[in-house]
RNA sequence: GGGCAUGUGGCGGAACUGGCAUACGCGUACGACUCAAAAUCGUAUGAGAGCAAUCUCGUGUGGGUUCAACUCCCACCAUGCCCACCA
C-alpha cells in the first residue's frame, strides 16, 4: 500500500475542488454564512498565526456542509489604508502595484490550506467597483446629516502626516509608527457615531439582533468583547447644572461681596454625582473652554491664565495623561461661580485635568468625594467638605470579612490578647447583625456609658488609651493618637455622629450603620497589626493610608446637604435633578466616552471622499450617477507637510464643476480611513457583482446575518464598532434587513513564537506556513492549530506538535489495511461486530459533533485520537467504522479524508456525504468500573454491569478484601451511591 | 487606578451539572525491530516513602461548605489583555 504523501494528494484535491466547485451549492434550504476578518495584504506575507481563525471557519464550514447547509465562506482583501501605503512608500512602488503583488502572495499562501473559499466572490476594498459603494454609503450619511465637517483639534501624527481617530492611538502614540501625536486644529470630516451610541450599547444585551420581523435572538458574542465595547462607549447618566458667574468688584468695599450679575454668563457643568453638590468647593474648566475667552476682560490675571492655556495645549497627550504627575491649574481671579443649591460663591479654576471634549468641558469639584478634586484641593489649599457618609452597601466587603475576623480573634487569643468587636454608639444596627450571627463575639453598645467602651474597643486593639482626640479643621477628621504617638485618622465621616452630638437617638435611627462599619474596618486593620506583634508591615501601612487619605467616592447617605441630608445618594440625585429641571438651570443628561468618528485622512491610498466644495453652494455631494470618484493614478503619493492630502496637488483632478450650480468647484482631497471599506464588506460578499445596489435585497435577506464571525480581539473597539454602526445606518435607510450584522462572534487566540513572544520579524521567531506545509502537509498544520489548546487562548507555537499530528494522520492512513472487507459496506445497524469499538465510535461521533459546534476543536481531535488508538488495537475493523472515522476527520483534514474516501471506492466527494448521527443506544457502556470510596477516598473499584442497583453494589463492595480491611469493626454511618459512578462508605 | 480573563505534570493542555485529577498530544527513559540509524511498535512517566503489597501528599496561597472540591463560597497572591484624569 502506498505511503501517506500530503505533497501529492493535497494539490490534487485542491485542484479538483476548485474545478468542480462543490462548495458552491447555494441552493440548499438552510444557509450558513461563515466570515473571516479579511487580511491587509501586507508585504510580509502570512505567518502561521494568521490562518488559525481561517482554519476554524473552514472546519465549521465543511461541517455545516456535511450537515446539509448551503455555506457562504468568502475571502477578500482590506487593501486600502496606512499599512499598505507606508509599505509602498518604503519600497518605492505604487501602492496599487504593491497591493496587487501582495494579494498574489497571500492568495497563494491561503491556497495551500485547502480552504473552501468561493473565489468568485473575492472582493478588494481598493477596487473602484467596490469603493463606489463605500462612497455611496458616505453620501447617504452626508445626506442624513451624519457626516459633517468640523474644525476641532484632532490627533495628528507628524510622521504619517495624517489625522487619526482616538481609536487609532496607543497611549497617545500613533498606533502605526509609534510617533508622538500632537493636537492640530484642522478641517476634517467626522461621522456622528455618538448618535448611535445608545443603540450600539443596547443591542449588545437586548435580543434586538434579530431581523426586524422574525423571532428575536440574542447576540452570541464573547463577554470580554462585549465588555470592551461597553467600556469604550462609556455611557454615564448624570445631570448638567448651570452655575451663574458673578464678578468680584475690583475695589474692596465694606460689603463682603458685591454681586454683579453678568446677565447671561453661566457655566454649565456635567456631573454623575449631583448628590455631592453641597460638597462642591470650587469649579474647574478645561483649557479649551470658551468661557475663558468670553470673560477675558473680567479675569484679573488673564495673562497668567493665557500662559497656562498655551502651556497646556503644547503638552502632548502623553504628558497630559500618562504621567501620574501633580495636577496643575490657575484660578480665574475676579470671577466666581455660584452654586445654585446653596448660593455659595466658589472660586473658578482652569486646569488641564478637565477634558475639553467630555461632558461640558467643565466640572464642579467635590474634593471630599472625588480623588482628582481631592488632589487638586490639597495642592491649592481649597476647602474639603464632606457631604456623603458611607452606608451599609458600600461596606459589604467589610461585612464579608467577619468570618475572617472571628478567626483572627482566636489567633489573637493565643497571643494573649482579648478584644471585642463593638458596634459604635450609633452602630447598634450593624453590630446587631454581628451580634445576632456571632453572639459569642460581639457586644452591642446601647448607651453613652457603654460608649466609653469605645476606648475599650481601641484598647482591645492594642491601643491602651486614647490620649488625645483632636479634630482637624480642614478635613473634619477625627484623629486618635495611640501610645506610640502614632496618629490614627479614622476618616472624615465618623465624627458626624460623634458622641457629642446631642441628638443621639435620631442619628442612631437614621445613620447608625455607617460608623460601625467604619469601625470594623479599623478593627480589622489593627488586628492584623497585633498578629504581627505590633510590627506594622508595609502592606498594612497601605491599609492605614486608606483611612487617612483615601477619599470616599462611593454612594452613601447625604450629610451637610441642607434639606437633602439623610437621603441616600441615588434618591438625592433624583430629587436634586427634579429641582434643577424645575428651576430650568439644568437637568438629566447622558454622556458618552465614545466620540464621533474622525473620518478623513490626509493621505493618498484611501477612498476619495465624494464631496465637492463650491463657493456658492458650499459642500455638495457627488451625484450618485457619478460614482465612483476614482482615485487618480499619480506619480507622487507621499503625504505632504501642509496637512492637505496629496490629492490636493493634482489640479486636473481637483477642479470640477459644481453639480448643483455648474460653477467652479473643488473636490474634497481627504480620503477615508482604513476602516471604511471593512465596515460593510460582509454585505458585498453576498452580491459582489451587483452594480445597481450595494447588495441585492433578496440575496441580503437570504444570507444575513453572518452566522459566524471569527477574528482577532484587537478589533473589539474599532472595526467591530464601526461595522455595527454602519450596519445600523444601512438598516435605517432600508438597505439591510437585520439590526446587527454578526450573530456569533468568536475571537481567535494568538499564536506566539516558540519563545513565547509575539511572532514578529523583530524577534526572529516568525514561522512561515509554506515551510510547515511543505514539510508536514496542510492537514497536519490544520489539525495542529486546532489541537494546540482552547481556540480563544494565546498559545506558543511548537513545531514538535505538528509532528504529532502528522503521526496521527499516518496512523489513520495505515489503519486502512485493517479493513475487513473493503468492498462490502456493512450496515451499522445490522452488523454490530464489536460492541466495545462501536461504543467508542459512537461516543466519538457525539463528542466531535458537539465540540465543533462549541468551538472546542482540541477535544474533538483528542476524541478522534482515542478512537484511532482503539482501532489500532483491533485485528480487523469494519469498513463502516473506518468510513465514519474518515467522515469525522474530514472537516479538519479534508485532503487525507478525500483521498482515503476515494481509495475506499467512493466515486463522489466525501463532502457530499451526510454527517453521521450517533446511536444513543450504543454510547452506553455495558460494563463500567464502579469506584468504591471510604470516607471520600478511593480504595477500590469493581467491574459491574451498567445500571446496577445500590443494594447489589453494596453487597459486592463489602465483599472486597480491601474494603473489608477498612471497614472491619467500624460503624458505617452513611452510604452515598451515585449510579454507575461510585459508592461511598462514611465510617 | 478601573474592567475582563487566567493559574492543573518537564511542556501544550483534559476533566460534563461537585463524583476515579493529569484524558489526548509533545518530551524523556527503557525495550522490540535493524549491521546501524531513522521511521514504527511496546512499556513506563505528578512528588515522596517502601524489596513489595501499599501508604502519604498533590490542581497559585490561606480558610470555609460537603460523605466528596480543579469545580461552589470568602480572603489573598501572581500573570496576561483591554481601558485609563470620562467628573
A466-475, A852-861, A974-983 — most confident range: A852-861
Alpha-carbon span A924 to A732, nearest angstrom: 53
- pLDDT in the model for residue A741: 94
pLDDT grade for A843, boundaries at 50, 70 and 90: very high
Nucleotide at minimal C1' distance from the A284 CA: B87
- pLDDT in the model for residue A758: 82
Mean pLDDT check: name the lowest of A128-137, A502-511, A736-745.
A502-511
pLDDT exceeds 80 at position A682: yes
Alpha-carbon span A837 to A832, nearest angstrom: 9
Which residues from the 800-819 window of protein chain A have CB within 7 angstroms of nucleic acid chain B? 800-801, 803-805, 807-808, 810-811
pLDDT exceeds 90 at position A273: yes
Helix (H) / strand (E) containing A504:
helix A504-531
How crowded is residue A921: how many other Cβ atoms within 10 Å of its Cβ?
Answer: 8
Which residues from the 568-627 window of protein chain A have CB within 7 angstroms of nucleic acid chain B? 591, 593
The answer for residues whose C-beta is within 8 angstroms of residue A832's C-beta and 6 or more apart is: A838, A922
- In the structure grid, which three cell numbers stand for residue A803, read together? 509532528
Residue A489 vs residue A199, higher pLDDT = A199
pLDDT exceeds 60 at position A532: no
Radius of gyration of chain A, Cα coordinates, nearest whole angstrom: 36
Segment A53-60 shows an average pLDDT of 96
Mean pLDDT check: name the lowest of A368-382, A665-679, A708-722.
A368-382
pLDDT grade for A271, boundaries at 50, 70 and 90: very high
- pLDDT in the model for residue A539: 28
Task: Find the Cα–Cα–Cα–Cα dihedral A411, A413, A416, A417, rounded to 10°.
Answer: 100
- pLDDT in the model for residue A911: 95
Give me the CA A917–C1' B59 separation in Å, rounded: 36
Helix (H) / strand (E) containing A350:
strand A345-351
Which residues from the 259-318 window of protein chain A have CB within 7 angstroms of nucleic acid chain B? 270-273, 286
pLDDT exceeds 60 at position A574: yes
Q: What ipTM was reported for this prediction?
A: 0.94
Alpha-carbon span A380 to A194, nearest angstrom: 36
Dihedral sign, Cα of residue A879, residue A880, residue A885, residue A889:
positive
- pLDDT in the model for residue A311: 84
* pTM for the predicted model, two decimal places: 0.83
How crowded is residue A750: how many other Cβ atoms within 10 Å of its Cβ?
Answer: 17
Looking at chain A, the number of H-run helices and the number of E-run strands are 31, 39
Residue A581 vs residue A219, higher pLDDT = A581
Nucleotide at minimal C1' distance from the A986 CA: B67
- pLDDT in the model for residue A390: 57
pLDDT grade for A88, boundaries at 50, 70 and 90: confident
Give me the CA A411–C1' B63 separation in Å, rounded: 13
Mean pLDDT check: name the lowest of A53-62, A119-128, A379-388.
A379-388
pLDDT grade for A852, boundaries at 50, 70 and 90: very high
pLDDT exceeds 90 at position A859: yes
Dihedral sign, Cα of residue A873, residue A875, residue A881, residue A883:
positive
- pLDDT in the model for residue A397: 32
Give me the CA A847–C1' B43 separation in Å, rounded: 30
Alpha-carbon span A674 to A134, nearest angstrom: 12
Mean pLDDT check: name the lowest of A55-59, A200-204, A483-487, A642-646.
A483-487
Q: What is the 3-state secondary structure (H, E, C) of A536-587?
A: CCHHHHHHHHHHHCCCCCCCEEECCCHHHCCCEHHHHHHHHHHHHHHHCCEE
Dihedral sign, Cα of residue A214, residue A215, residue A216, residue A217:
negative
Rounded to whole angstroms, what are the CA distances from A443 to A432, A447, A640?
9, 12, 77
Give me the CA A116–C1' B23 separation in Å, rounded: 32
> Phi-psi region for residue A466, left (φ > 0), alpha (ψ -120 to 50) or beta?
beta
Helix (H) / strand (E) containing A963:
helix A961-967
Give me the CA A508–C1' B35 separation in Å, rounded: 98
Task: Find the Cα–Cα–Cα–Cα dihedral A389, A395, A396, A399, rounded to 10°.
Answer: -120
Report the candidate in A333, A328, A285 with the shortest Cα–Cα distance to residue A308.
Answer: A328
Query: Helix A799-815 and helix A894-903: axis angle, to 10°?
Result: 10
Model confidence over A876-933: pLDDT tens digits? 888 889 999 999 999 999 999 999 999 998 999 999 999 999 988 888 777 777 888 8
Dihedral sign, Cα of residue A548, residue A551, residue A556, residue A561:
positive
Report the candidate in A77, A146, A161, A76 with the shortest Cα–Cα distance to residue A671.
Answer: A161
Rounded to whole angstroms, what are the CA distances from A846 to A393, A448, A641, A915?
48, 72, 63, 11
Contact A689, A637 (CB under 8 A): no
Model confidence over A794-833: pLDDT tens digits? 999 999 899 999 999 999 999 888 887 644 444 444 344 5
Segment A847-859 shows an average pLDDT of 94
Dihedral sign, Cα of residue A796, residue A801, residue A802, residue A808:
negative
Which string of DSSP letters, residue by residue, matches A603-634? SSSSPBP-EEEETTTEEEEPPGGG---PPPP-
Chain B bases closer than 7 A to any CB of the protein: 2-5, 11-15, 19-21, 23-27, 39-42, 55-56, 63, 67-69, 74-75, 77, 80-87
Asked whether strand B has any atom less than 7 Å from the CB of A363, the reply is yes
Mean pLDDT check: name the lowest of A315-319, A381-385, A431-435.
A431-435
Strand-pair category, A260-271 with A76-77: unpaired
Report the candidate in A8, A32, A96 with the shortest Cα–Cα distance to residue A852.
Answer: A32
Rounded to whole angstroms, what are the CA distances from A662 to A233, A311, A616, A620?
43, 47, 10, 12
In percent, the amount of chain A with pLDDT more than 70 equals 78
pLDDT grade for A272, boundaries at 50, 70 and 90: very high
pLDDT exceeds 50 at position A475: no
Residue A611 vs residue A550, higher pLDDT = A611
Contact A603, A82 (CB under 8 A): yes
Q: What is the 3-state secondary structure (H, E, C) of A723-738?
A: HHHHHHHHHHCCCCCE
pLDDT exceeds 50 at position A393: no
How crowded is residue A468: how many other Cβ atoms within 10 Å of its Cβ?
Answer: 11
Contact A125, A78 (CB under 8 A): yes
- In the structure grid, which three cell numbers stand for residue A403, read together? 468570618
pLDDT exceeds 70 at position A705: yes
- pLDDT in the model for residue A265: 81
Mean pLDDT check: name the lowest of A422-431, A585-594, A935-944.
A422-431
Nucleotide at minimal C1' distance from the A788 CA: B12
pLDDT exceeds 80 at position A625: yes
Asked whether strand B has any atom less than 7 Å from the CB of A929, the reply is yes
pLDDT exceeds 70 at position A253: no
Beta sheet of A974-978, edge-to-edge order: A937-945, A927-934, A982-986, A974-978
Strand-pair category, A282-285 with A345-351: parallel
Give me the CA A319–C1' B2 separation in Å, rounded: 20
Burial label for A854, CB within 10 Å (0-12, 13-18, 19+), is exposed
Segment A765-778 shows an average pLDDT of 92
Report the candidate in A208, A232, A229 with the shortest Cα–Cα distance to residue A219.
Answer: A208
pLDDT exceeds 50 at position A181: yes
Asked whether strand B has any atom less than 7 Å from the CB of A859, the reply is yes
pLDDT exceeds 80 at position A510: no
Dihedral sign, Cα of residue A386, residue A390, residue A395, residue A396:
negative
- In the structure grid, which three cell numbers stand for residue A354, read together? 478637565
- pLDDT in the model for residue A389: 66
Evaluate the omega torsion of the peptide bond into residue A408 and state whether it is cis, within 30 degrees of 0: no
Residue A591 vs residue A186, higher pLDDT = A591
SS3 A163: strand
Average pLDDT over chain A, rounded to an integer:
78
Give me the CA A403–C1' B65 separation in Å, rounded: 13
- pLDDT in the model for residue A522: 39
Alpha-carbon span A92 to A479, nearest angstrom: 71
pLDDT exceeds 70 at position A488: no
pLDDT grade for A453, boundaries at 50, 70 and 90: very low
Nucleotide at minimal C1' distance from the A981 CA: B19
Give me the CA A631–C1' B33 separation in Å, rounded: 69
Residue A360 vs residue A3, higher pLDDT = A360
Give me the CA A225–C1' B71 separation in Å, rounded: 25
pLDDT grade for A413, boundaries at 50, 70 and 90: very low
Amino acid at each position: 500500500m502506498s505511503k501517506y504523501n500530503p505533497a501529492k494528494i493535497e494539490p490534487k484535491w485542491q485542484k479538483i475542488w476548485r474545478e468542480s466547485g462543490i462548495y458552491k451549492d447555494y441552493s440548499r434550504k438552510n444557509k450558513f454564512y461563515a466570515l473571516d476578518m479579511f487580511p491587509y495584504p501586507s508585504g510580509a506575507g502570512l505567518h502561521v498565526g494568521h490562518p488559525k481563525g481561517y482554519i476554524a471557519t473552514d472546519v465549521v464550514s465543511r461541517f455545516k456542509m456535511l450537515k446539509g447547509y448551503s455555506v457562504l465562506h468568502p475571502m477578500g482583501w482590506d487593501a486600502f489604508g496606512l499599512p499598505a501605503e507606508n509599505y509602498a512608500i518604503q519600497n518605492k512602488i505604487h501602492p496599487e502595484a504593491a497591493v496587487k503583488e501582495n494579494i498574489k502572495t497571500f492568495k497563494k499562501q491561503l491556497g495551500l490550506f485547502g480552504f473552501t473559499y468561493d473565489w468568485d466572490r473575492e472582493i478588494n476594498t481598493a477596487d473602484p467597483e467596490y469603493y463606489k459603494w463605500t462612497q455611496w454609503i458616505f453620501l447617504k450619511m452626508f445626506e442624513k446629516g451624519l457626516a459633517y465637517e468640523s474644525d476641532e483639534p484632532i490627533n495628528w501624527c507628524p510622521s504619517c502626516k495624517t489625522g487619526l481617530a482616538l481609536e487609532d492611538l496607543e497611549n497617545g502614540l500613533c498606533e502605526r509608527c509609534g510617533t508622538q501625536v500632537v493636537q492640530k486644529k484642522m478641517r476634517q470630516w467626522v461621522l456622528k457615531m455618538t448618535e448611535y451610541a445608545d443603540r450600539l450599547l443596547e443591542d449588545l444585551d437586548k435580543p434586538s439582533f434579530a431581523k426586524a420581523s422574525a423571532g428575536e435572538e440574542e447576540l452570541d458574542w464573547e463577554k470580554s468583547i462585549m465588555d470592551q465595547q461597553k467600556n469604550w462607549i462609556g455611557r454615564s447618566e448624570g445631570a448638567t447644572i448651570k452655575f451663574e458667574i458673578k464678578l468680584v468688584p475690583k475695589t474692596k468695599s465694606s460689603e463682603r461681596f458685591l454681586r454683579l450679575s453678568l446677565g447671561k454668563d453661566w457655566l454649565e457643568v456635567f456631573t454623575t454625582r449631583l448628590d455631592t453638590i453641597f460638597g462642591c468647593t470650587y469649579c474647574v474648566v478645561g483649557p479649551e473652554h470658551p468661557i475663558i475667552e468670553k470673560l477675558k476682560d473680567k479675569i484679573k490675571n488673564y495673562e497668567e491664565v493665557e500662559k497656562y492655556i498655551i502651556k497646556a495645549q503644547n503638552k502632548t497627550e502623553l504628558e497630559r495623561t500618562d504621567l501620574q504627575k501633580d495636577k496643575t491649574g490657575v484660578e480665574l481671579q475676579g470671577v466666581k461661580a455660584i452654586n445654585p443649591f446653596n448660593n455659595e460663591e466658589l472660586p473658578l479654576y482652569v486646569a488641564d485635568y478637565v477634558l475639553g471634549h467630555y461632558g461640558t468641558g467643565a466640572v464642579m469639584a467635590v474634593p471630599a468625594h472625588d480623588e482628582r478634586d481631592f488632589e487638586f484641593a490639597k495642592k491649592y489649599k481649597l476647602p474639603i467638605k464632606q457631604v456623603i457618609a458611607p452606608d451599609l452597601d458600600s461596606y459589604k466587603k467589610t461585612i464579608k470579612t467577619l468570618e475572617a475576623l472571628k478567626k483572627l480573634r482566636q489567633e489573637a487569643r493565643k497571643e494573649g490578647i482579648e478584644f471585642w468587636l463593638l458596634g459604635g454608639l450609633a452602630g447598634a444596627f450593624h453590630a446587631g447583625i454581628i451580634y445576632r450571627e456571632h453572639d459569642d463575639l460581639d457586644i452591642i453598645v446601647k448607651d453613652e456609658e457603654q460608649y466609653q467602651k469605645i476606648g475599650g474597643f481601641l484598647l482591645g486593639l492594642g491601643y491602651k488609651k486614647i490620649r488625645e482626640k483632636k479634630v482637624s479643621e480642614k478635613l473634619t477628621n477625627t484623629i486618635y493618637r495611640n501610645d506610640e504617638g502614632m496618629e490614627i485618622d479614622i476618616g472624615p465621616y465618623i465624627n458626624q455622629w460623634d458622641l457629642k452630638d446631642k441628638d443621639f437617638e435620631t442619628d442612631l435611627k437614621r445613620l447608625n450603620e455607617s460608623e460601625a462599619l467604619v469601625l470594623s474596618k479599623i478593627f480589622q486593620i489593627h488586628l492584623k497589626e497585633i498578629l504581627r506583634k505590633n510590627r506594622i508591615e508595609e502592606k498594612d501601612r497601605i491599609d492605614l493610608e486608606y483611612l487617612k487619605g483615601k477619599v470616599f467616592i462611593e454612594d452613601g447617605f447625604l450629610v451637610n446637604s441642607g434639606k437633602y441630608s439623610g437621603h441616600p445618594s441615588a434618591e438625592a440625585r433624583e430629587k436634586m435633578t427634579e429641582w434643577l429641571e424645575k428651576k430650568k438651570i439644568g437637568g438629566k443628561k447622558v454622556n458618552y466616552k465614545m466620540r464621533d468618528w474622525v473620518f478623513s485622512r490626509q493621505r493618498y491610498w484611501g477612498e476619495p471622499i465624494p464631496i465637492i466644495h463650491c463657493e456658492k453652494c458650499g459642500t455638495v455631494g457627488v451625484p450618485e450617477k457619478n460614482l465612483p470618484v476614482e482615485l487618480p493614478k499619480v506619480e507622487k503619493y507621499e503625504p505632504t507637510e501642509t496637512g492637505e492630502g496629496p490629492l490636493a496637488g493634482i489640479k486636473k483632478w481637483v477642479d470640477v464643476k459644481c453639480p448643483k450650480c455648474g460653477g467652479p468647484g473643488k473636490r474634497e482631497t481627504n480620503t477615508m480611513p482604513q476602516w471604511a471599506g471593512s465596515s460593510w464588506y460582509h454585505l458585498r460578499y453576498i452580491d459582489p457583482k451587483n452594480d445597481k445596489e450595494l447588495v441585492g435585497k433578496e440575496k441580503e435577506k437570504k444570507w444575513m446575518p453572518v452566522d459566524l464571525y471569527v477574528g482577532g480581539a484587537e478589533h473589539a473597539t474599532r472595526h467591530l464598532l464601526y461595522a455595527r454602526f454602519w450596519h445600523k445606518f444601512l438598516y435605517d435607510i432600508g438597505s439591510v434587513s437585520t439590526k446587527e450584522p454578526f450573530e456569533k462572534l468568536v475571537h481567535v487566540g494568538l499564536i506566539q513564537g516558540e519563545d513565547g513572544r509575539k511572532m514578529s520579524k523583530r524577534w526572529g521567531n516568525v514561522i512561515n506556513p509554506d515551510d510547515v506545509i511543505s514539510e508536514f502537509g496542510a492537514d497536519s498544520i490544520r489539525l495542529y492549530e486546532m489541537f494546540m489548546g482552547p481556540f480563544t487562548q494565546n498559545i506558543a507555537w511548537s513545531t514538535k506538535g505538528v509532528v504529532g499530528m502528522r503521526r496521527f494522520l499516518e496512523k489513520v492512513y495505515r489503519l486502512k489495511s485493517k479493513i475487513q472487507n473493503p468492498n462490502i459496506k456493512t450496515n451499522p445497524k445490522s452488523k454490530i461486530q464489536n460492541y466495545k469499538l462501536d461504543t467508542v465510535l459512537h461516543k466519538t461521533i457525539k463528542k466531535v459533533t458537539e465540540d465543533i459546534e462549541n468551538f472546542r476543536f482540541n477535544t474533538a481531535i483528542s476524541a478522534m485520537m482515542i478512537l484511532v488508538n482503539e482501532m489500532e488495537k483491533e485485528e480487523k475493523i469494519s469498513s463502516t467504522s473506518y468510513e465514519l472515522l474518515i467522515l469525522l476527520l474530514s472537516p479538519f483534514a479534508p485532503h487525507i479524508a478525500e483521498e482515503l474516501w476515494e481509495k475506499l471506492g467512493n466515486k463522489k466527494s466525501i463532502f457530499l456525504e451526510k454527517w453521521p448521527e450517533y446511536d444513543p443506544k450504543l454510547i452506553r457502556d455495558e460494563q463500567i468500573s464502579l469506584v468504591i470510596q471510604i470516607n471520600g477516598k478511593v480504595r477500590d473499584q469493581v467491574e459491574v454491569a451498567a445500571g446496577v442497583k445500590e443494594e447489589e453494589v453494596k453487597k459486592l463492595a463489602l465483599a472486597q478484601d480491601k474494603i473489608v480491611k477498612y471497614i472491619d469493626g467500624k460503624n458505617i454511618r452513611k452510604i452515598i451511591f451515585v449510579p454507575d459512578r461510585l459508592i461511598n462508605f462514611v465510617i
